[in-house]
Amino acid sequence: MSLKLFELVGTDPARPFSPFCWRTRMALAHKGLSAESIPWRFTEKQAIAPHGSEKVPVLLDRDKPVVDSWAIANYLEDTYPDRPSLFGGEGGRAMARMLNWWGDLAIVGGIFPLIIADIPKNLAAVDAKYFRRTREARFGKPLEEIMASRDTGVVAFRKSLDVLRFTLKAQPWLGGAQPNYADYIVFGGFQWARVVSPFRLLETDDPVYAWRERLLDAFDGMARTSPGFAV
């Protein structure tokens, strides 16, 4: 096998930060696969256009492109069925579809306003300009203004994690006795924040914090040793 993964980075090519790319990184590790990382920046649209995408992650399995983190997870599950399962069966695959939306809306969507003005600090000028222009258009205000209320916003964000928190009181991982793609979906968002922002999302006595710590340690500390802030 020969796998390559386009991953979003900023000024440091060894510091991938996209929450969606981190889902894929963890999924690859879960399957015991390694992929050559191809650093990709926001304004490098032409590098992935030939593969049919405007966004990352894009996985190349030899010459075959697979686009979008959810599609990649399904591709890995179907292509490498003899390796540890990402979904734990077809019921898990179906339910992970909904958890993937929850990860997008509640986790990535919930964290974004809390770290948004920190992100350009990690980017080269051309990418920072692109990021600011597109995101300010989406939110309808300056990044700094979006983030100004984060000290109160984080309280609501923490409360929104009850679904996750209560689950983790009943079982060690979202995937059950062992982590699986359900865990990586949610973890991707936390790792994104950890890489780009010093802002503290979680209290240390939160079961979600302990779960995140365990995922930082997974796969020989792959996520923890990737450059980031100690939050």
**What sign does the dihedral 62-64-69-71 (CA atoms) show?**
negative
Binding mask 137-166 for its own copies (x = CB under 8 A): -------------------------xxx-x
CB of 35 to its own copies, least distance (A): 23
Kindly state whether residue 71 participates in binding its own copies, applying the rule CB under 8 A: no
d(C-alpha 230, C-alpha 200), whole Å: 9
Q: How crowded is residue 156: how many other Cβ atoms within 10 Å of its Cβ?
A: 11
Q: Provide the token pair at 119.
A: 């992100």
For 68, residues 6+ apart whose C-beta sits below 8 A from its C-beta are: 20, 53, 55, 57
Kindly state whether residue 210 participates in binding its own copies, applying the rule CB under 8 A: no
Residue 183 φ/ψ, nearest 5 degrees? -65, -40
Between 98 and 230, CB nearer to its own copies: 98
Between 178 and 225, CB nearer to its own copies: 178
- Find the part of the chain contacting its own copies (CB under 8 A) among 9-17, 97-105, 142-150, 203-211: 97-105
Number of residues that bind its own copies (CB under 8 A): 32
Kindly state whether residue 89 participates in binding its own copies, applying the rule CB under 8 A: yes
